[in-house]
Structures are given as C-alpha cells and as structure tokens.
Structure 1
Amino acid sequence: MKDEINHLIEAIYGAKIESFFAISGGSNNQTQVLNLTNGQRVFLKQNPSPPADFFLAEIRGLKLLTPAKSSLKIPKPIAVQSGDRPTFLLLEYIVSSSEDEKFAERLARSLAELHIISQEHYGLDHDNYIGRTPQKNALEKDGIIFFREQRIDFQRQLARQSGLLPVAIDNKLDLLCDDLGKFLNISGEKPALLHGDLWSENYFPDSEGKSCVFDPAVYYGLREADLAMTELFGRLPQKLYDVYQEVFPMNPGYEERKDLFNLYHLLNHLNIFGSFYLSSVQQIVNLYTD
C-alpha cells in the first residue's frame, strides 16, 4: 500500500513524500498529513479493513456538499486506492485556524445555505455510513416515516441483534416511534441536504475563516437533525442558533425536538461503542414516553 501511495503522489504532484505526521482521525481511520518535496501537503486516511464502498461513499458525500449555493469549505478528494476494497483515501489538506467570535455566525449562514438545497424525497440514491455503521437512505416522501424507519428503527434492530437493548427500552421505543408525528413538527419543511454527522470534530474554520466541514454522512433529511447534532458533544455558541433562525427560521419547538434527532446518533454510539451509551439512550426515550 505504501508503494501505491507514493506512486499516486508522484503521478499527481510530481513530488515525493518528504515526511508525515499523524493526527487524530476518530475511531474509524488512521490519518496522516503528508509533507511533499514540492512544499505541498496532502491528507491521508487509511482503514485496513473497511467495507468495500466505505471511501467511495465518503467521496460521493463530499462531492454532494460542494454545490455553488453553499459557502462551506469542503476538502477535495484527490485519489482513492484502486481495487474492489479501497483501504486509503487522499484528500486536500486544509489548514485550520482558531475559532474567532464570528465563526459561529459564518457557520450558521453556511449551514442555512446548505439546507436550502432540496429534492423531492427524503433519503438519497445510495446508502452510506455514519461512522462505521451502514446508514440506510431508501427514498421516502414522508419525513417522519423516513426518520422512523431509516434512522431510529434501523439502529434499534442492530442493537437488538447485538443484545445491547433491554426489552423495557425496546418497548418504549415502540411507543415513541408510534408517536413521532406528535413530536416532530415538520409542517412546511422540505427534504434538506444535510452533512449528517455534524459533531464538534467534523468542522473548523480554515485559514481564511471559512467554515470547513468533512467526514460527512450525507442525505436529504429534516434539517434540524444537523443543528441538533452540533449540541450533542459540545454545544456551539448561542450565536449560531440565533443567526440560523434569522436566516432560515425553524418551526417553533426545536428545543423540545432536538433530543429526538440525537437519539439516532446515541443509538449508533451504543451499537459502535457498547453499553456506555445505554443510559443516554434511555434518558431520551424516557423523556418522550414517560
């Protein structure tokens, strides 16, 4: 694999790898920044045993996030390993900077621009991944049915199969899924293009202050799901939510709905990391069923 990476670098850049350093890549991949002899840098993601379409799905997601209507900065895919099961991906390296007092406002406006992009159905024309879990995106006209079947119920089935979901919580999830229409106010909403995994490690300001997002789990869904995810593992400044509401107003009651959107991600974390996340799942389920 090392020889193939070197060959691609030489073919694309006419340069060689001079040095590299590892950076945090989350729980799914090993990531490095490659310093080239021509002074450029390249971002390398490696995974020794990914699903066959893992990196190809990421490339498709990055390309979907790069329409002219959004001011988000998206890393450009450069090359992927050849073969039936690519184990590495080369991406544009984007220099990050510290968040200033205007970052939340810029990110809010960029997200609103992204979420205005729509299509007729919820979902996507292909499945992809949320972390290392398959993310099902079967097209559906009804946003509540989509969220129930492709998000909550799919993760619940995985947790059942792994023995991670106690019967009492599973039964309450039945009640919650039956009542989703009561909790989700989607009147007037259209399927919005979402990043899909917008937690605090998947965005930063670049050297020009633009909002850079990466590691997407793209689909067309209920846009509040992206906003809610920004609150799950470390909340952004209130300015982001205020500016977003000014630019692209949400229906009343977002504060009461956001935990429901994050139930999807907590179920996914339960399936990936185990029972540590069970209490968080239970807390949200109880919130909507007790």
Structure 2
Amino acid sequence: METLYLLGVSSTTIQLEPLHGGCINHAARLTAGNHTFFIKWNESPPPGMFQKEAMGLALIKQTKTIRVPEVLGYFEGEGIQQSLPAFILMEFIPSGKRLSSYTFQNLGEQLAQMHLHTLSPGGKFGLEEDNYLGTSPQTNRWHEDWGNFFIEQRIKPQMELAFRNGKLPPARRSLLEKLIVRIPEILGNQTHQPVLLHGDLWIGNVLNDPNDHPVLIDPAVFYGDREAEIAYTRLFGGFQSEFYLAYQQVFPLETGFEIRKDLYNLYHLLNHLNLFGEPYGMQVDAIARYFVGQKSSIT
C-alpha cells in the first residue's frame, strides 16, 4: 500500500482485524510489522467523502483543544487504481472502555474552549466547501446572518430531499413553511457567533483514549452557532451531566437555549426522516406545531 510506504512502513505483512460499530463504512485495525493503524473503506462512497472528513478533522486539530485521530492518508478511488475502494488511514487510538465522568468533564471543558476561540474567517456562517453529515450532503454556503444560514443551508435542503423521497406530505410541508417564516423571529433576540462546530456530535462520535481523555471522530464541521452543537448532544442522550456542567462553567449558554434546542434539532430529525423514515416525521411535526403556535408543548 503506497500510503504505508510513504509513512516509512516497509513491512510486506499486513493484517486486518475487522472492527464494528459503524453503519456507513467498513473498518479495521491494520497491523504492518510493528505499526498499527485504523483504516476504513467504502466501495461506493459519496464523492470526496474521505477528503472532507480529513479536512474536518484537520480543522478541529488546529484548534489545539480536543484530540482527534491524525489522518495519515486517504484515497478516493480515482486514477490508475480505480479498482481499489476509497479509504482513509488514521492513527489507531486504543479505546473500548466505557466513557467516564472524567471523559465527559474534559470534553465539556475542551468543547467550550473550541467554541470560545474559533471565530470563522470573515465572521460569516458556513464553510469554504460543502461536506457530509454521515452520507447526507451538507451545504455550507457562507451567510452573514445565522437565521438565514439555518433556513437556507440546513432546513430547506432537507425539506427538498424529503419532498423527493415522498416524506413531505402537504400538511407537513405547510407546517414547515410556516415555521421557516418564524425562524428569524425565534432566533432574533440573541447574539450569534460563527464558531467551529464538530457538526455531528452525538455519543457515537465520542471515544476515549487510554488516559480517558476524549477523542472526537466523524465530523461534519462548519462555522455556526454553538447552541446547535449542544442541542444535538441532547437529542439522543448519552452525555453525562459532567459534560454540561463543565461546558457551562467555561462558556455559559444564553437564556432560552432550552426552547431553541428543539428548533436546532429539527435539522437532524429531518435528516433522520430522510434516512430512516417515520417515526422521525412525528417528531418533526411536533416541533413545527409547537413553534408555529399549534401546540403548547413539544411532547
């Protein structure tokens, strides 16, 4: 494998030990002589998926706040070696232990530091290129206004995809269109700073290293409002209270987050609706009804 030779690994004996846990790519522990790596591959990935993952990990690494795996190389299945699957090769981080309160405390502190010190170039919301949320295309066109970004680059693309997938019946579409009109008002009484977000921060994308320090994987980075990041950690659960306490001590959230979090999670619920169908549609409907005033609560 050319990438290994470039890294100075001359062993001709390569062993692959399959790893489990992901649902998008194949993954394995790759051993070559005395060297151990992590590799994942895909026979038919979305265009540029591994390049965009490498870019996201590099952006987080540059903040010097939260550890991410070092990317050693990637191949997108092009050129004279088209018969090979696309792959990304990274450092192997021994893990597998249950995440501890120490891990969550450190993650809360480090994420807050990343959000505190990573304002976007030019002060705009978005990213210089589009990327993926899992395998879902994620558009990141620059916007000066956070509400407009959230509408145009997050909610509307998922609505269009749901329409094409037959998952946006007229009643649901009408609800979401009414909600879109209200989003600038809902988000208007708040200061929004475009900071670097991991973008897909659910519990499955958090590891711990042998010293119990947090490690983040599988980013969908962009510069956005940090509340969207914290909101997603609440959607599917798994984050211990130490995470939120530590984050709040470093970078307290503004009043009203408990309400706004459900609006932000609408993006991820629409994505899950497109990927997996109902019952995510019922959650989408409940959030939309609440914010357009048709329900007194979301539950």
TM-score, normalised to structure 2, is 0.89
C-alpha displacement of 1:11: 4.2
C-alpha displacement of 1:285: 1.8
Q: Which residue of 2 aligns with 1:32?
A: 28
| CA displacement, residues 22-71 of structure 1 (integer Å, 9 cap, x when unaligned) | 22353221111112221x2211111111122111111111111112x442
Distance in 2, matches of 1:256 and 1:17, equals 55
Distance in 2, matches of 1:16 and 1:98, equals 35
Change (3 A) 1:179 1:204: same
Q: Which residue of 2 aligns with 1:249?
A: 252
Pairing 1:81–2:47 present: no
| CA displacement, residues 102-132 of structure 1 (integer Å, 9 cap, x when unaligned) | 2221101111111121121000010000111
Distance in 2, matches of 1:79 and 1:186, equals 44
Q: From 36, 40, 56, give the equivalent of 1:41.
A: 36
Per the alignment, in what secondary structure is the counterpart of residue 275 of structure 1? coil
Q: From 44, 49, 54, give the equivalent of 1:59.
A: 54
Pairing 1:93–2:92 present: yes
8 A Cα contact 2:101 2:240, kept in partner: no
Q: Which runs of 4+ in 1 moved over 3 A?
A: none
Aligned residues: 283
Change (3 A) 1:16 1:274: farther
Larger mean CA deviation between 29-38 and 6-15 belongs to 6-15
Distance in 2, matches of 1:235 and 1:287, equals 25
Which segments of 5 or more consecutive residues in structure 1 lack a partner in the other structure? 1-5
Distance in 1, matches of 2:219 and 2:274, equals 19
8 A Cα contact 1:9 1:16, kept in partner: no
8 A Cα contact 1:70 1:113, kept in partner: no
Larger mean CA deviation between 277-286 and 123-132 belongs to 277-286
Which segments of 5 or more consecutive residues in structure 2 lack a partner in the other structure? 295-299
Q: Which residue of 2 aligns with 1:3?
A: none
Query: Counterpart of 1:93 in structure 2: which amino acid?
Result: F
C-alpha displacement of 1:239: 2.2
Change (3 A) 1:175 1:34: same
| CA displacement, residues 57-101 of structure 1 (integer Å, 9 cap, x when unaligned) | 11111111112x442111111111262687111111111243222
8 A Cα contact 2:175 2:285, kept in partner: no
C-alpha displacement of 1:273: 2.0
The Cα RMSD (Å) is 1.8
Query: Counterpart of 2:54 in structure 1: which amino acid?
Result: I
Distance in 1, matches of 2:59 and 2:273, equals 28
Change (3 A) 1:70 1:32: same
Pairing 1:288–2:282 present: no
Q: Which residue of 2 aligns with 1:217?
A: 220
Change (3 A) 1:276 1:23: farther
Query: Counterpart of 1:27 in structure 2: which amino acid?
Result: C
8 A Cα contact 1:17 1:34, kept in partner: no
Q: Which residue of 1 aligns with 2:109?
A: 109
TM-score, normalised to structure 1, is 0.91
